[in-house]
């Protein structure tokens, strides 16, 4: 049985990756290593937690002896590394947390793999899941991020992810480790933590609270349904060429204000409110410091070389997402109680 270590599997994207691997590959033993920070939630995985090929391990990637011991015990065949501090706004107030988990944590994981595999890389694979934010921001509407776009990280979050990407590539070059990296655009979907734009707006609409749009709402993001990202990760893990990088995105750009208005309209319909009710909650607030203007991924390489493509149109994905949140209000209530309230008060 192949042993695969997935890190950050209790988080938003990680939980969808864990579910896909556990259900699709009964011949793999899946280990989910997660620290269970504010963003980690085992309630994301209740449907698969008792599967015989699934094991949860609580632990911190920053704790090198712990990571070394876990790797030495299991000698994993593959790693899918998603664990990270993931929220740009939090990186602005507490950059060091991002250095520790995203940079030190990644290097600890690379060292544990290197020291356990000892150059015997047959059938082994270290896959790092990264972000399009490492490429900086775009201004010209005709430009897209490709795999050869120069790195230009502009927030503490993207600087930490860029650094971790560089370490992964450096271990591939220096120690010949079998590495592969993907850089993906903004995800949305079920289990998205409500500090991020779409679930935050859904939560606020449900509670008739102001919808805080940063700046003029002109910033552009390229949105991909989280299950399509998980499918892409499965594709790259199994078919991606070692040493390569693949960009993942949905060719689906939206100005924040247009997206929020569309979401308001979907929510009005679902809640039986008159069209235009939720839009009245939109409030323009102080812009994010260093706010990147536009991200847009050119996903042609993964589409042409590996045959992956998104399965959903945005409107369909957004409706599925809203349906999920409306059906899981207990999940939403649980994650927005306690510390979330304090976070929200300091942010807005
Ligand atoms: P998330 O914040 O929802 O989840 C992160 C998970 O990592 C949580 O379960 C958390 O408990 C765990 N974690 C954090 N620090 C840890 C540590 N020190 N040790 C062990 N576990 C730890 O993040 P997400 O949005 O699911 O993102 C997952 C990955 O995908 C990240 O690497 C992120 O950079 C990348 N990514 C995210 C997006 C997006 O739109 N969300 C897009 C592209 C890439
Ligand atoms: O591009 C991939 C990245 O997408 C991932 O690497 C990150 O982990 C993920 O958090 C996401 O980063 P963003 O900063 O783009 O996502 P966020 O949901 O925080 O914000 C999306 C846009 O909406 C951004 O332009 C800021 C804006 N925004 C966000 C919030 C939370 C608002 O206008 N108001 C808000 O309250």
Q: Which residues pair with residue 125 across a beta bridge?
A: 78
Catalytic residue among 54, 127, 135, 157: 157
> What is the distance between the alpha carbons of residues 248 and 182, in angstroms, rounded to a whole number?
7
Q: Has this prediction a pTM greater than 0.95?
A: yes
Domains plus CATH for the chain? 2-191+223-252+290-312 (3.40.50.720)
Q: What percent of the chain has pLDDT over 90?
A: 99
> What is the distance between the alpha carbons of residues 117 and 114, in angstroms, rounded to a whole number?
5
Residue-wise pLDDT tens digits, 183-237: 999 999 999 999 999 999 999 999 999 999 999 999 999 999 999 999 999 999 9
Residue 342 pLDDT: 94
Contact 165, 130 (CB under 8 A): yes
Binding site membership of 86 for ligand 2 (Cβ less than 6 Å): yes
Binding site membership of 187 for ligand 1 (Cβ less than 6 Å): yes
Token digits for 216? Answer: 């003029």
Burial-class residue 87 by CB neighbours within 10 Å (0-12, 13-18, 19+). Answer: middle
Residue 236 pLDDT: 99
> What is the distance between the alpha carbons of residues 215 and 83, in angstroms, rounded to a whole number?
30
Neighbouring CB atoms inside 10 A of 208's CB total 10
Residue with tokens 């107030």: 93
Q: Which ligand is nearest to the CA of 103?
A: 1
Residue-wise pLDDT tens digits, 88-134: 999 999 999 999 999 999 999 999 999 999 999 999 999 999 999 99
Give the chain's radius of gyration (CA, Å).
Answer: 20
Minimum-distance ligand 2 atom for the alpha carbon of 295:
1
Contact 12, 192 (CB under 8 A): yes
Residue-wise pLDDT tens digits, 298-347: 999 999 999 999 999 999 999 999 999 999 999 999 999 989 999 999 99
8 CA to middle of ligand 1, Å?
Answer: 6
Residue 13 pLDDT: 99
Burial-class residue 179 by CB neighbours within 10 Å (0-12, 13-18, 19+). Answer: buried
For the segment 230-259, the average pLDDT, to the nearest whole number, is: 98
Which SS3 state, helix, strand or coil, does residue 206 take? helix
Neighbouring CB atoms inside 10 A of 26's CB total 12
Nearest to 131 by CA among 101, 172, 107, 161: 161
What is the signed CA dihedral for 329, 129, 225, 140, rounded to 10 degrees?
120
Burial-class residue 16 by CB neighbours within 10 Å (0-12, 13-18, 19+). Answer: buried
Q: What percent of the chain has pLDDT over 70?
A: 100
Of all protein residues, whose CA lies closest to atom 16 belonging to ligand 2?
196
For the segment 20-47, the average pLDDT, to the nearest whole number, is: 98
Residue-wise pLDDT tens digits, 145-172: 999 999 999 999 999 999 999 999 999 9
The reply to whether ipTM tops 0.95 is: yes
- Residue 242 phi, psi dihedral angles, 5° rounding: -60, 140
Binding site membership of 88 for ligand 2 (Cβ less than 6 Å): yes
Strand order in the sheet with 54-58: 54-58, 28-34, 2-7, 78-81, 125-131, 179-184, 245-248
Minimum-distance ligand 1 atom for the alpha carbon of 10:
9
Q: Which ligand is nearest to the CA of 198?
A: 2
Residue 247 pLDDT: 98
Helices (H), the chain: 12-24, 64-74, 88-93, 95-98, 105-117, 156-174, 197-206, 226-239, 256-271, 300-306, 314-327, 329-335, 339-347
Which SS3 state, helix, strand or coil, does residue 285 take? strand
């Amino acid at each position: 049985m192949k042993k695969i270590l997935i890190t950050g599997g209790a988080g938003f994207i990680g939980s969808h990756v864990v579910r896909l691997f556990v259900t699709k590959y009964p011949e793999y033993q899946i280990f989910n290593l997660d620290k269970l920070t504010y963003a980690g939630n085992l309630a994301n995985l209740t449907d698969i937690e008792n599967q015989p090929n699934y094991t949860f391990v609580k632990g911190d990637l920053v704790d090198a002896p712990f990571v070394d011991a876990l790797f030495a015990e299991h000698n994993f065949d593959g790693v899918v590394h998603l664990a990270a501090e993931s929220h740009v706004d939090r990186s602005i107030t507490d950059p060091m947390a991002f250095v520790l988990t995203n940079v030190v944590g990644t290097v600890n994981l690379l060292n544990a793999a290197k020291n356990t595999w000892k150059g015997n890389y047959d059938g082994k694979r270290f896959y790092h899941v990264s972000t399009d934010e490492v490429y900086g921001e775009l201004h010209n509407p005709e430009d897209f991020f490709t795999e050869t776009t120069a790195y230009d990280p502009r927030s503490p979050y993207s600087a930490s992810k860029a650094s971790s990407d560089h370490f992964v590539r450096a271990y591939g070059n220096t120690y010949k480790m079998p590495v592969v990296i993907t850089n993906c655009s903004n995800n949305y979907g079920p289990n998205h933590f409500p500090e991020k734009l779409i679930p935050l707006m859904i939560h606020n609409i449900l509670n008739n609270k102001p919808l805080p749009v940063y700046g003029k709402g002109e910033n552009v993001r390229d949105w991909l349904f989280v299950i399509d990202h998980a499918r892409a990760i499965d594709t790259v893990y199994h078919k991606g060429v070692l040493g390569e990088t693949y960009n993942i995105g949905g060719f689906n750009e939206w100005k924040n204000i247009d997206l929020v208005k569309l979401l308001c309209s979907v929510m009005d319909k679902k809640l039986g409110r008159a069209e235009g009710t939720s839009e009245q909650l939109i409030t323009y607030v102080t812009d994010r410091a260093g706010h990147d203007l536009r991200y847009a991924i050119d996903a042609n390489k993964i589409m042409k070389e590996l045959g992956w493509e998104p399965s959903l149109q945005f409107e369909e994905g957004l409706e599925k997402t809203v349906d999920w949140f409306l059906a899981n209000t207990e999940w939403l209530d649980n994650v927005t109680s306690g510390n979330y309230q304090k976070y929200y008060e300091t942010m807005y």
